[in-house]
Amino acid sequence: MDFDDTLDATGLLCPLPVLKARKRLGGMSSGAVLKVVADDPAAIIDVPHFCAEAGHDLLDQAEADGAQTYLIRKG
């Protein structure tokens, strides 16, 4: 899937991946897609919850090599 921007949040612990995603999405147009890469185990819960609460669409969630990847469409 295509995306418009990437946020590398590896090495950051809760709540920083979500806070940085919120800030990055704030500067993007509605409908744009942000790819977030994180390795914080709490991100598995935090990112989907953030999307639901903020009105963004979580398009995809995957895990490989100890990191999670999320594709978020700005609502």
Known active-site residue 14: yes
Residue 43, H or E segment: helix 43-54
Q: Are 7 and 28 in contact (CB under 8 A)?
A: no
Cα(37)–Cα(64) distance, integer angstroms: 10
Active-site pick, 3, 5, 14, 16: 14
Q: Which residues are catalytic?
A: 14
